[in-house]
A and B are shown apart, each in its own frame.
Chain A
Amino acid sequence: MKRPGIIVKIIVVFIALLISPARAVQVKEFSLDNGLKLLVIENHKAPIATFQVWYRVGSRDEPKGKTGISHLLEHMMFKGTKRYGPKSFSRIIQKNGGIDNAFTTRDFTMYFETLSSDRIELAMELEADRMQNLLLRPEDVKYERSVVMEERRMRYEDDPQNLLYEELLATAFKVHPYRNPVIGWMSDLASITQKDLLNHYRRYYRPDNAFIIVAGDVNAEEVYRKVKGYFGGIKPSGYGHQEIRHYNEPPQQGKKVVYLEKEAQLPYLLIAYHVPSFPEKDSVELDVLSTIVSGKSGVLYKKLVREKKIALNVFASYSGFYLDSFLFFFGGTPRPGKTVEELKEAILQEIQGLKETPPTEKQLQKARNQVEASFIMEQDSLFSLAEMVGTFELLGGWRLIDKYLEGVRKVRPQDIQRVAKKYFVDKNMTIGILIPEKKDKEE
C-alpha cells in the first residue's frame, strides 16, 4: 500500500525531534587543528557504532549548468583511491559485517559506516583516505554517469508524483539553487566532466569543510585520539565553512500554478508556501503547526479522508532543517471520482480555518507529547541519533537542539494562528497539479 504522498518521505526526514530535559543527549565535542570537528555520542546498549562524515556541500553549491555534480561526486567517492582500488570500499565494510552508504541533499553530503564497535577504526581509515586520495578515473566517471541517469529515470522520469515535486520547486524558486533537483537535470548530467568533479572535490572535500559524528559503544577520548591520527595530517582548504553563501530568494509576487501531464491513474496535488527555516523566527511554530494538523487525529485526515471523503490521502509537511528558507507543503490524492479542484478547495478551507481559529491547548499538548515521544524513540537508532546531532551541527551548532526544544515548549495557540496568517497567503503560494494522461495497454 502506498503511503500518503511520496513527498512526505522525501522531505520529512526529521518531522519531529524533541528532547525532554531529563533525556538530553550527551555530546562530546573535539576539534582538530586543521578545522575538522568531531562529535561523539557514547551509547553502550549494543556492541555497535556508526561513523558519519558530513561535508558542507550539496546541490546549493553547484556551478551553473552542472546541477547534480555534488551527487555524482558522492557516487565517485566509492570508486577507489590509490590504496584501495575501484570496487573495494563497500566490500571491505561488508566483509567486516558492516554496512555503508551515503546521501546528498540540497545542503550537505553525508557518508556513513555502521559496524561492530571494535572495527570502527576501519571506517576512519577508509574515510580519511578518500577525503584526500580519490582516484576519479575518467572511465569510471563515464559509467557512473550512466548509473546516475538510470537513478534519475527511476526516481523522477517514471514517477509522476516526484516529477511534479521537481516541477513545483523549479517554479516556486526563481533565484535560489533550491530550484534545482539534487540529482541534477539530465542535460547537465551529460555535460559534467572529470575535471569539473575534480574541482568540486578539491574545493569542498576538506577537513575544515566537514565534521564527523560517532555514536555507539565507544570511548570518546579514544575515538578522538584515533580520528586525530587518521585525519590530523590532511591539509585544510583555508576557506572554512564560514564561507557558506546564503542566497536570498526574492519575495513571491503572486500565485503560481504548474501543471504536469503524465500517464497516471489518479491526479495529485501539491500546495507550497515559502517559509523560514530553523533557527530563524517562526520555524518552530510552523513545525508545531504541521504536527497539529497531521496524523489520523489531525484535522486534514479527519475532515478530508474520513468526513468529506474527498481525499484518498492528504498531508501537511514542513521541515525547518534547511540552511535557507524552504517550503511548507500541503498535498494529497483525490479519491477516485473526486477532482483535484475539490481537493484543493477543501485543503484551502482547512488552511483558512487555521487562520481564523487558534488550536486548543489540548491540541498543542498533543503535539508536544508527540514530539517528545518520537524524540525518545528515535534514540533507539544510533544512526538517527547521530543524524539528528549532525543536522543541528550543520545549521549552526548541535547545541541548537536545546533552542529547538525550548521553542516547542513555548509555542502558544495564538502563535499557530499568527504564522498561518503570515505565510499561508495566495501571493506566497505555488500550486502543482498532476493531470493523468491515460493510455493503458496490457498484454
Chain B
Amino acid sequence: MISIEHISQSLHEALSASLNSTLVLLIEMVIAGVLVIALFAVLGLVLVFMERKVSAYIQIRLGPNRVGYQGFAQTAADTLKLLIKEGLTPDGADKFLFNLAPLVVMVVAMLIMAPIAFTKGFQLWDINIGVLYVSAVSSISVIGILMAGWASNNKYSMLGAMRSGAQIVSYELSAGLSVITIVILVGSLSINDIIASQQNGWWIFKGHIPVMISFIIFVIAVTAETNRAPFDLAEAESELTAGFHTEYSGMRFAFFFLAEYVNIFVVCAIGATLFFGGWMPFHIGSWEAFNHVMDFIPGIVWFFGKIFSLIFLIMWFRWTFPRLRIDQLLNLEWKYLLPIAMFNLLLTTLMAITGFYFK
C-alpha cells in the first residue's frame, strides 16, 4: 500500500544516497516549506468554499455555483481579485505596523502547522513539547490583531482589537486547561505520544465524562480564540463594520481572512489529535473484521475527516447563534468555563492517578 510515510521515507533515502546530510536537511526543509505554503493556499480555498456552501445550505440558498463545477473555482477567482486590488494604507496610519500586522497573523498561523502529525511518520517537526508549542505560538496572533487595530488609526478598528485582545487572552486559559487534561492522562506533551496512547480507543470514548467536558470547553474556547461567531466580537459586522480589519484591503485583507481559516484548521487538528486519536482509525473492541476494514482507510483520510467534521461543527455555530456581548463573553469565560475547567482538571488528575479509564 502506498502511504505518505513510504513516500517521505524513500525520498529521504534517495537524497541521502547521493548528498551529504546538511544538504539533505536543507532540501528537505525547502520541500517542507513549500508543502506548508501549498497546504495553506489550498486550505484557504477549500475552507472558504466550504464555509460558503455550508452557510448556503443552512440559509436555504445555493451558494456560489457559476464559476467552475458547482462554483468550485469561485474562491480562486476571489483570491485573484484580491491580488489585483490596490492595498490602501490610510492617512495617519502607522505604516510599518499596519503592513506588518497581516504578516504576523499569517506567519503565526503557518508556525502552528509544524508539530501536527498528519499521518503515521509524517510530521514537519517531531518536537517533544508539541502541545505546549502550539498553545504558546497561537497566542502570538493576538499581537498581530492588536497591531492591526492600533495602527489603522480607526476607532472601529481599535475597539475591535481591544475586544479581541481581552477575548483571546481570556479564552486561552480554558483552552489550555482542557488541553492539559489530555496531557495529564497521556503523561506526555508530544503529539506523537498522544496519538499513540489512543491506539486502543480515542480519549473521547476512554476518558469518561471529564474528557467530554474538556472537549466541550475546548470547542467553545477555540471558537472564541479564532474569533468565530458567536464570539466574533472583534469583527462584529453589525456593530463595528469589520472590526480590526476595517481599513485593510486587497491581499493584506486576504491574509487576515486566510489566517482565520488556517487557524480554524489548526485548532480543529489539535482537537482531533487530542480527543479523536489524530490519524488513528476507529476501532470497536474485539470486532476484528470491522477493525481491519477501518485500518485499510489511510490515516490521512481519517485525520482530515475528523478535522473537517470539527470544522463543520464550528461553521454550524457561526450560522446559527446570535453574537454575545463583550461583558457576557468575559462572564462566560471567567465565571463559568474557567472554574469548570479547573474542577475538571482535578477530576482528570484523580482519574489519571487511579487509572480509572478504559485502557
Does B associate with A? no
Taking Cβ atoms with an 8 Å cutoff, the residues of A that contact B are: none
